[in-house]
Amino acid sequence: MIYFTSDTHFGSERTLQTSCRPFKDTKEMDEAIIKNWNDIVKNEDEVYHLGDFGNYAIIKKLNGKITIILGNYEQNDLKTNFKGNFSEFSNFLKELGFYNVVDKSMVLQLEDDANTSFYLTHKPIDCSKDYFNLFGHIHEKCKCKKFGLNVGIDCFNFAPATLEQVFFYKNAILNYYDKNVFMEDL
C-alpha cells in the first residue's frame, strides 16, 4: 500500500493553535496522529511525507517506509543546523529512521500503472503543470486545486491519505469539479 501526508508538525504548539487542531495539547495531538497513522499503515507500506514533519524522534513510533520530501521547516533545519549540506542532513534523517529523503520534489511513477505519475512537493506554488500534483503546506486551507490535491494531515482526519483516496479526488478534480468548486470568477 502507498500513503501520502504532510504537515504533521509533531510537537508544534504553534501549529496546534494556528490550525485550530481539535486537541487540548501537543501530546494529545501527537498521540492521535500516531494512532491514526499506525491503525492503517503497516510496516511494509510506503508513506510519502511531503514535508513539515516536526519532532523527528517521532519517526521511531510510526509504521511504514517513510520517504520525506523536505518542507520549509526541514529546509530551514538543513540551512541552519547542517549549513546547507543535504547529504549530511539526509544521513541524519535516515539514521533516525526515515527510509528516504528528497530535497524538494519528485515524480512518483506507480509500478502497477505505467500511465499514472504524481508530482510530489511541499508547496502548491512549486507544483508542476505536467502532472497531477500532491502537495501540503497550506494545512486545511484548500483541499482541491485544479492541478492537484492537498494531502496534508489536516485534510484527511489526521491520518495519511490512501492511494484510493488520492485516485478518488484526482478523478473528481479532473472530471467533475467545476467553477463552483474552484471559484475562479465572481
Closest CA to 63 of 160, 167, 163, 165: 160
Is the Cβ–Cβ distance between 23 and 154 less than 8 Å?
no
Q: What is the pLDDT of residue 119?
A: 97
Q: What is the pLDDT of residue 124?
A: 94
CA dihedral over 133, 69, 47, 151, signed as positive or negative = negative
Q: What is the pLDDT of residue 20?
A: 80
If one counts the domains in the chain, the total is 1
For 109-125, the pLDDT digits (tens) are 987 766 789 999 999 99
Q: What is the pLDDT of residue 141?
A: 83
What mean pLDDT comes out for the span 52-69?
98
Residue 111 belongs to a domain with what CATH number? 3.60.21.10
Residue 69 structural domain = 2-182
Could you tell me the three cell numbers for 86?
543535504
